[in-house]
Amino acid sequence: MRNPETILNSLSAHSKDVHYKYERLYRILFNEQMFYVAYQRIYAKPGNMTPGSDDKTIDGMSIERIGHLIATLKDESYMPTPARRVYIPKKNGKKRPLGIPSIEDKMVQEVVRLILEAIYEGHFEDTSHGFRPRRSCQTALRSIRNLFTGANWFIEGDIKGFFDNIDHHILIDTLRERISDERFIRLIWKFLKAGYIEDFTFHNTYSGTPQGGIISPILANVYLDKFDKYMREYAESFDKGKKRRENPLHAKYSRKAIRLRKAIRNATDEDIKRELLSQLKVAEAMTRNTSASMAMDSNYKRLKYIRYADDFLIGVIGSKDDCVKMKKDFTTFMRDKLKLELSEEKTLITNAQDSAKFLGYEISIRKSEAMKRNKLGWLKRPFSGRIMLTLPIATVQKKLLELKAMELRVINGKEIWYAMPRNYLTKEDPATICARYTTEIRGLYQYYRIADNISYAGSKFGYIMRYSFCKTLAKKLNSSTAKVIRKYRRDHDLAIPYQEKKGETKFRIFYNDGFARQEPNKDATCDNLPNTFVLPFPTLAERLMEHKCELCGATNVKTVMYQVRKLKGIPLNTEWHRIMIKKWRKTLAVCEHCNAKIHEHDK
């Protein structure tokens, strides 16, 4: 049986060859090792302890269960179960539908996802950053910072209900362009048509990708890859000229300065030299204050495009008329080729002096008259025209209000941010409250750490959170904020003591790492070379194949994997929980007798 890494690396070797067609992919699903890897990759997610529509969870996984799943794939009797639909709250107060597939479906989808990733990763465009290995929001934003310099206009793209409106036939036809295996295609069809169950009623799915499905993100990328490639070709046809035309005024003042310098060198009379020096200063000042190139040059145009999932941003060096035409062309392509609709209201054309919104950041072009000498000693404006990535203060305000860490007060006509205690946290112990605040501060900082204004905006957020924390503790301890600060202050930090299980006293430090701006991780490469797959070693399957009960010690027995959602908070009144805590594992390979005993106790 071939090693999964060997299989996937073999597939990825042909990824960049657009003429290569993949055959006999379906038989990869007969490889038990692929499912052991899939199990290893998905088991740790707490959501796998939530039952699907078949009422099963990942608890009770066994070699036999995997073998039965593979057998149904071999004779093509395998049918995905409809996803169980639930609703999760959105930040705007509305609810987002989420489908919960069965565990067997998740494992099959993970194997399919690995195969599709190996096939398509080298085929995708550099401009796509969502749901791809070694790419993220940070790499998308870094690309914008590097590529959009000097843009005059931004086009913010918004696709209406993208994930729910993917046309199944277009998606399957797109897959067939690279895949020549109808059994594999039929399996994808099964997932697309599996439907969902809501309020005990089955609903068919006529469009869109499987909700909550592991394969949904990569299928979405396959679908929008056509738009990515269209944008590459569109940019190639739109781009014009090698550089902007020189500004005639700048050239005039520059030539005058050259003539004056030459005249000064040849002048012998000191009065004349002083007069020439005075004129030179004026000419140099005019040269510095005049742009060297024409900001609007009809013979120089550029288009840059970045996409993350269903959001995209376009930077244009050109006119507004160019942008209006582009928006019309993109709308037509989406409608005719992908059967998708660009939102007329949310697909905005924005002047680069204003701010476009993308991935939670505000993006604009910096205008700066600051001068700096280059390596040749020439004065330049190195900051003008550069991309500014900023954290909107409105986002900081909204986050603090959502957390109920502050309220807005108007004093003398001025809006004041006033830190407030979070009463709903007072039931927790002080160390837990400290950990929660620190995690929330670090979460915001980690996402916005590349923002140009993170030092200011992050400090503002951290200041309110620090005093909200102190007021929350004061409320809990029935004390004052000043007394709480005096009690827990250690140098410039707030340190909350807590007892470890062994009785040792330790301190939990309130967030004190600052808000310095950082560059995106340079290791997050943005090329699209085929992957070299390094997969996790399937230790869970290895433990099951030992046929040894990790609870009673019985050997040569059938074993299943007992699993809990998380270790935190599990009671220590049973032997199996004590073993799991001791080994710090969420899983325990047990024999059928012990498994029955465990579940009888858990009822």
Is 489 in the same domain as 580? Answer: no
Q: Is residue 333 part of a domain?
A: no
Q: Given 288, 313, 340, which residue is the final one in a domain? A: 288
Is 574 in the same domain as 459? Answer: no
Q: Is residue 19 part of a domain?
A: yes
Q: pLDDT value at position 500? A: 82
- pLDDT of 252 higher than 90: no
Q: pLDDT value at position 143? A: 94
Q: How many domains does the chain have?
A: 4
Q: pLDDT value at position 531? A: 54
Is 451 in the same domain as 499? Answer: yes
Q: What percent of the chain has pLDDT over 70?
A: 92
Q: Each residue of 543-585: pLDDT tens digit?
A: 999 999 999 999 999 999 999 988 888 888 899 999 999 888 9
Q: pLDDT value at position 356? A: 94
Facing residues of 312 across strands?
157, 307
Q: pLDDT value at position 528? A: 44
Tell me the C-alpha distance between 415 and 411, whole Å: 6
Q: Looking at per-residue confidence, does 68 or 253 come out higher?
A: 68
Residue type, 96: R
Is 590 in the same domain as 495? Answer: no
Q: pLDDT value at position 504? A: 85
And the tokens for 457? 């905006």
Cβ-based neighbours of 515, under 8 Å, separated by 6 or more:
445, 449, 454, 455, 457, 458, 459, 462
pLDDT band at 376 (very low <50, low <70, confident <90, very high): low
Q: pLDDT value at position 201? A: 76
Is 495 in the same domain as 552? Answer: no
Is 57 in the same domain as 181? Answer: yes
Give the residue ranges of DSSP H helices in 193-247: 216-238
Rounded average pLDDT over 469-478: 95
CA distances from 343 to 230, 303, 331, 346 (A): 19, 21, 9, 5
pLDDT band at 521 (very low <50, low <70, confident <90, very high): low
Q: Is residue 151 part of a domain?
A: no
Q: pLDDT value at position 568? A: 83
Is 590 in the same domain as 457? Answer: no
Q: Is residue 281 part of a domain?
A: yes
pLDDT band at 292 (very low <50, low <70, confident <90, very high): low
- On average, the pLDDT of the chain sits at 88
State whether residue 319 is helix, strand or coil: coil
Containing 530, the helix (H) or strand (E) segment is none
Q: Each residue of 310-326: pLDDT tens digit?
A: 999 999 999 999 999 99
Q: Is residue 567 part of a domain?
A: yes
And the tokens for 226? 């056509």
Rounded average pLDDT over 388-411: 95
Rounded average pLDDT over 184-193: 95
Is 15 in the same domain as 102? Answer: yes
Give the residue ranges of DSSP H helices in 526-574: 539-545
Instruction: Compute the C-alpha angle 446/447/448, nearest 5°.
Output: 95
Rounded average pLDDT over 581-602: 91
- pLDDT of 265 higher than 90: no
Is 178 in the same domain as 257? Answer: no
Q: Each residue of 132-147: pLDDT tens digit?
A: 998 999 999 999 999 9
Q: pLDDT value at position 273? A: 84
Q: pLDDT value at position 378? A: 64
pLDDT band at 47 (very low <50, low <70, confident <90, very high): confident
Tell me the C-alpha distance between 106 and 27, whole Å: 18
Q: Using H for helix, E for strand and C for coil, what is the string for 396-443? A: HHHHHHHCCCEEEEEECCEEEEEECCCHHHCCCCHHHHHHHHHHHHHH
Is 578 in the same domain as 505? Answer: no
Q: Given 151, 177, 206, which residue is the final one in a domain? A: 206
Q: Each residue of 237-248: pLDDT tens digit?
A: 999 888 777 777
Containing 39, the helix (H) or strand (E) segment is helix 32-42
Instruction: Compute the C-alpha angle 293/295/296, nearest 5°.
Output: 120
pLDDT band at 381 (very low <50, low <70, confident <90, very high): low
Residue type, 534: V
Cβ-based neighbours of 243, under 8 Å, separated by 6 or more:
293, 300
Cβ-based neighbours of 266, under 8 Å, separated by 6 or more:
none
Comparing C-alpha atoms, which of 20, 337, 325 is closest to residue 180? 20
For the ranges 72-86, 150-164, 281-295, which has the lowest average pLDDT?
Answer: 281-295
Q: Given 452, 487, 509, which residue is the final one in a domain? A: 509
- pLDDT of 530 higher than 50: no
Is 196 in the same domain as 49? Answer: yes
Q: Is residue 527 part of a domain?
A: no
Q: Is residue 301 part of a domain?
A: no
Is 199 in the same domain as 54? Answer: yes
Per the structure, the complete domain to which residue 274 belongs is given by 248-288
Q: Is residue 476 part of a domain?
A: yes
